[in-house]
Structure 1
Amino acid sequence: MAHLLHLDSSPRGERSISRQLTKEFVAAWQTAFPEDAVTYRDLGHSLIPPVDEPWIAAAFSPPDARSPELNAALKVSDALINELISADHYVLGVPMYNFNVPSNLKAFIDQIVRVGRTFVVNAQGGYDGLLMHKKMLVITTRGGTYPAGTPYAAFDFQEPYLRAIFGMIGINNITFIHADQLASGEDARQQSLAAAKDAIQHLVTTW
């Protein structure tokens, strides 16, 4: 039995397209694999606190040297990291904001990228991720389109950032489905959504 962690990061509710698409994937997944466990976390509505000074002091202190106050500063981080560790697969819905990710998703990432828990510094001064053998699906929603090899690709800080930061903690098997051109007229919008939904259904059977 596998464990799927479903994360939404849009602050919108029923009007959120990224939420609709991740929900469609999870529903198809549960139909195909009814024995699998699914955990849901709503990053868009249950906001994650940003990293602060006590968090930094605690994260860079040996566990046996932390005061009760420093341990409390890492409570949210520990819970989020434990959730990541327990899952085998992740599906993450991400709207593009200003060519990158929403601030609430960035706060989540800052809480989970933590030395000694999700990565270590190796002898060469590089990073070794600790969350190995996981798979991640990222479903993005975008007003425009940023194809590789075009001048517009330089504006896409979303996919490169997510690949880099999750790769740093060991999650390198990442699939992206981009529902783009959503602000480019109704025809382009519907074509993009249809393509994204087809990709979702295909991925459920091949992932």
Structure 2
Amino acid sequence: MTTLLHLDASVRGERSLSRKLSKAFVQAWLAGDAHAQIIERDVGRNPPPFIDEAWIAAAFTAAEKRSPAQHEALRISDALIGEVERADVIVLGTPMYNYGMPAALKAWFDQIIRVNQTFTFDLARGDFPLQPTMADKTLVILTSRGEFGFAPGGVREHMNHLETHIQTCAHYLGVARSHVIAIDYQEFGDTRHQESIVAAFERVPVLAAQLIDQQGMPMCASA
């Protein structure tokens, strides 16, 4: 059975296009794999706390030596890591804010990328001492962007610090494959924006079906 971790990072509610995209992806997955398990995590509406000095001290203290206060400081981190560990596919709906991640999404990554939990550190590995502890996960980024040209080769590729940052961090969550479906031109609100919406939603069920097939799950007759 495949487990999807469905994350939303937009601070908007029903107006959010990234939320609509991620919801459509999960629905398309369930249409093809009715037995999939879905873990819901809404960091846009319920952001995790920022890490602080107490969190760092607890994270770098061996588990058996932590005080009750230190265990409490890592309680949310432990829960979020557990969700990622259970997931085969991470479905991330996120807008682009100021060319990068929403603060709540960055806080989520900071809570999860944790030494001796999601990665190990060993100087015997030379110049690449960090190594993720999880592997073989798939990431689907479903996003909406105010401008356009952020894809490879686009006029704003150099300004895209959303997908590149997510993919860099996701390596330490065991992500081996990533896919992006994006809506562009949101601030323009013209026909190009409408065409981009249509194109993105058309791609969603196609990608879901492809990934279900790669996961080796049988397609439902209604899919």
TM-score (norm. length: structure 1): 0.96
Distance of aligned partners of 1:169 and 1:25 in 2 relative to their CA distance in 1, 3 Å threshold: closer
CA distance in 2, matches of 1:169, 1:5: 12
Instruction: Indicate the SS of the match to 2:207.
Output: helix
Unaligned runs of 5+ in 1: none
Pairing of 1:27-38 with structure 2 (within 5 A): 27-38=27-38
**Which amino acid counterpart does residue 58 of structure 2 have in structure 1?**
A
Q: Give the deviation of 1:178 after TM superposition.
A: 1.3
Identity within the alignment, %: 38
Runs of 4+ in 1 over 6 A off after TM superposition: none
Structure 1 residues 87-124: Cα deviation after superposition (integer angstroms, max 9, x where no partner): 11110001000000100101101000101110112322
Instruction: Give the structure 2 partner of residue 54 of structure 1.
Output: 54
**Which amino acid counterpart does residue 154 of structure 1 have in structure 2?**
H
Instruction: Give the structure 1 partner of residue 141 of structure 2.
Output: 138
Q: Tell me the C-alpha RMSD between the 2 structures.
A: 1.2
CA distance in 1, matches of 2:115, 2:169: 13
Instruction: Give the structure 1 partner of residue 71 of structure 2.
Output: 71
Higher relative contact order (CA 8 A, sep 6+): 2
Instruction: Give the structure 1 partner of residue 12 of structure 2.
Output: 12
Q: Give the deviation of 1:147 after TM superposition.
A: 3.3
TM-score (norm. length: structure 2): 0.89
CA distance in 1, matches of 2:9, 2:154: 28
Unaligned runs of 5+ in 2: 212-223
CA distance in 1, matches of 2:19, 2:196: 16
Pairing of 1:122-161 with structure 2 (within 5 A): 122=122, 123=124, 124-126=126-128, 127-145=130-148, 146-161=150-165
Instruction: Give the structure 1 partner of residue 178 of structure 2.
Output: 174
The aligned length equals 207
Conserved in 1, the CA contact under 8 Å of 2:21 and 2:143?
no
Structure 1 residues 147-197: Cα deviation after superposition (integer angstroms, max 9, x where no partner): 323442111111111111111332131111111112223201111111111
Q: Give the deviation of 1:68 after TM superposition.
A: 0.8
